[in-house]
A and B are shown apart, each in its own frame.
Chain A
Amino acid sequence: MSDLSHAPAPSRLQKVMDSTMMYSFRRNPVAVASLAVFLVIAVLSFLAPLIAPYDPYDPASIDLMNSEYPPAWVNGALPEFVLGTDDQGRDLLSTILYGTRLSIIIGLCAVALQAFLGITIGLVAGYVGGRTDSLLMRMADIQLSFSTLMVAIIFLAVTQALFGSETFNRYAVFFLIAVIGVAEWPQYARTVRATVLAEKKKEYIDSARVLGFGPLRIMIRHILPNSLSPIFVISTVQVANAIISEASLSFLGLGMPPSQPSLGSLISAGFDYIYSGSWWITVIPGIVLVVLVLVINLLGDWVRDVLNPKLYKG
């Protein structure tokens, strides 16, 4: 044993590459392909300001005369617009890149907010127990009995009426993050509470209590690190859900304004022209959205299988 301890310690990268998780990842072609597709979409969209041929946010670069050109492989296309243009004459490729970036940002931030609220509430409910637990979990039940979209539609419609369209459009990103974040916290809270209840009974928690650590320290330093795997699993699924929610709200006209298009508002804008033959304005962002959500969900499936092997192989 002492021989082992003197052997050179493997580097951090080496450790990660040798871990069970990486092994299972390399053995799973679906996971590898999903991650590759997700990374391509994410990197391209985050590099949008550098690689997009046009800036869709800049009204000076938009010419209304260019509107509704089809993609390059269809007759009557202009070569400078690879994926065609939308109803306002914006280059569809650039708009999709910017829109995807916006959708991913909203998805991640909304999930971060959900996770923060849900983990805090779940930890407190599970660890403190008793009346606090009942109260918080009944709140979660009430929240869950309304559908996310219903809450979001009411909230966004009211704020839009309250602040006026102009102010609303300026802060639409924050409103969307807030409403999607707040509407879905019970998912996290319930999962976290369940794992906390299981961890709380283990002896290392008793040991921490005998050593005189406070509840906050026990929750954050001892219970939370041991509850991370279910949190990872739901996080991936929740990102996909949040992107879908954002797209749905934008499609309904309650999300991003036409001047700052996200994937949802692009699909929505193109919907008006689908009968006049301009299918690409709706279909191409739609395909991007479907692929993005699909690969995130496939990754989520893989994470769940790895972190929770009892689920399917039991």
Chain B
Amino acid sequence: MKDLSSAGPLLDIQNLEKKFDLDKGFLETLKLRGGRLIRETRAVHAVNNVTLDVHKGEAVCVVGESGCGKSTVARMVAGLLAPTHGEIHYAGQRIDNLSRHAMRPLRKKIQMIFQNPYASLNPRMTILEALEEPVRHHNPRYSNAEVRDRVAEVMRSVGVDPAWAKRYPHEFSGGQRQRIAIARALTVDPEFIVADEPISALDVSIQAQVLNLMLEAKESRGLTYLFITHDLSVVEHFGTRVVVLYLGSICEVADTATLFSNPKHPYTKALLSAVPQLKDDRPNHIRLKGEIPTPINLPKGCPFRSRCAFANKRCDEEKPKTIQQPDGSLVACHAVEEDRLDTAASV
């Protein structure tokens, strides 16, 4: 967690919150409860009070199980969704409330890589058209030769032969398509990339290839990543810092090495114990009981309370705040704060 730039974080997320309304329109909000007609709007609380900063040169990984709000955070940072509350600052400038026009210069700096390479390229455009379009859009003064050079350079840098440019996306494999999608994001020369599970749709042998490509681009272009994933082995390989999300709230933020050697939050411990290992002939998983609570009616206290072995009365009533630990990690857990984890250690 070394601060590489003295000018503050590149991306600064403050108290970010996103609610998706379930009942749209007046009629859907009317409900009959106990013989009386009442108005009630249900909402999915996808992201709750997430505060996070990303410094230049980092690769911050956001992990968590399905439906914990990882992708929603990514989409809000990329400007695809507007937050319900909270602010997103990029290089000191607030970006979550900008108009499309005001956002345009920032589009060159913040790019996104999507999960499914089979859906993220327009099937009716050759990859040449797909790659030239953003270059021309953001650099209207480029001559045709400059555009061609730029596209060829980006294609070579992701390992796609520029001679294939006249082909359509369906003529490529998943890994090749994901590299083309990365190339498309790189055409505008971004400095910050939001990657929403970019390798989860790929074959394992291709995953490493794409990851290494992203690491390479990070070194050569000085990129900063916000990397969404649910694969902890990828995090160990790729991330400099890890954010663990559970039900839209932050559990733990720590440097990758710290998190893997010394996880503190009970949920992080359970997650790490679930990573399969080759030497493990008698796995000692921490088994979480129960299900994730529904994000429609959030529990009042700690979101993890219903599945936590260390939960007590305070956890039922009070939502834990993230507290800085001696080794620099941030943990939101009453048990860690009160130091009851080790005494009650049955794991």
A residues lining the B interface (CB < 8 Å): 1-2, 5-6, 202-204, 206-214, 217, 221-222, 225-226
Contacts and interface: CB of A to CB of B under 8 A. Distances in A.
B124 A226 contact: yes
16 contacts: A1-B161, A202-B119, A206-B75, A206-B120, A207-B112, A207-B181, A209-B79, A210-B107, A211-B111, A211-B137, A211-B188, A213-B137, A221-B133, A225-B122, A225-B124, A226-B123
Interface residues of B, number: 32
B103 interface: yes
Contact of A204 (B78, B120, B188): B120
A96 to B, nearest CB: 41
B114 interface: yes
Given A203-B115, A203-B120, A204-B121, A210 B80 contact: yes
B37 interface: no
A225 to B, nearest CB: 4
B119 A204 contact: yes
B345 interface: no
Query: Which of B100, B108, B110 gathers most chain A CB within 10 Å?
Result: B100
A214 B138 CA distance: 12
B80 A203 contact: no
Contacts of B116: 203
B120 A207 contact: yes
A311 B114 CA distance: 31
B156 interface: no
Contacts of A214: 100
A12 to B, nearest CB: 13
A210 B190 CA distance: 12
Contacts of B112: 206-207, 210
Contact of A206 (B80, B104, B161, B188): B80
B107 to A, nearest CB: 3
A2 B163 contact: yes
Nearest to B24: A130
B163 A207 contact: no
A217 B114 CA distance: 21
A212 B107 contact: yes
